[in-house]
C-alpha cells in the first residue's frame, strides 16, 4: 500500500455523506473530504453542532450541507437521503457499493 498523501481535489464533483459528523472523527473526516473537493453532507442528531462544521468547511472554501438525522430511525434517514438528492444531485455515473 502506498503512503502517498492525497493532494489537490481528486473528489471534485463527488458527494460524500458523513454520519456522526457533529464532532470528533466525523467532523475531521468531513472537513478533509471537503478539502479534497467533495461536496459534503454532514449528518448527526445535533443540528447546532453540524452548523458549526458546515461553517468551518465553508470558511475553508468547501461546500457542505447539514442534516439533523437520528440514524436509528429509518424514516429520518430516508428523509435525509431525499433532502440530499434535492440539494446536491448525484452525478450520472453510479458509484460502486461493496457489501
Query: Which among 88, 98, 95, 96 has a CA at the least distance from the CA of 41?
Result: 88
**End-to-end Cα spacing for the chain:** 22
Distance of CA 71 to the CA centre of its chain: 14
pLDDT in tens, 2-59: 556 788 899 999 999 999 999 999 999 999 999 999 999 999 999 999 999 999 999 9
Angle at 68 between CA 56 and CA 31, to 5 degrees: 25
User: Which residue intervals of 1-99 are DSSP H helices?
Assistant: 24-35, 47-59, 74-87
| pTM assigned to the model | 0.80
Residue 62 clears pLDDT 50, i.e. is over it = yes
| Cβ–Cβ < 8 Å for 37, 26 | no
Amino acid at each position: 500500500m502506498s503512503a502517498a498523501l492525497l493532494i489537490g481535489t481528486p473528489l471534485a464533483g463527488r458527494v460524500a455523506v458523513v454520519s456522526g459528523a457533529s464532532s470528533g472523527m466525523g467532523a475531521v473526516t468531513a472537513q478533509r473530504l471537503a478539502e479534497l473537493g467533495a461536496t459534503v453532507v454532514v449528518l448527526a442528531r445535533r443540528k447546532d453542532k453540524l452548523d458549526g462544521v458546515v461553517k468551518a468547511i465553508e470558511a475553508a472554501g468547501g461546500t457542505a450541507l447539514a442534516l439533523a438525522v437520528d440514524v436509528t430511525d429509518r424514516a429520518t434517514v430516508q428523509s435525509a437521503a431525499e433532502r440530499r438528492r434535492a440539494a446536491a444531485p448525484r452525478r450520472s455515473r453510479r458509484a460502486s457499493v461493496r457489501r
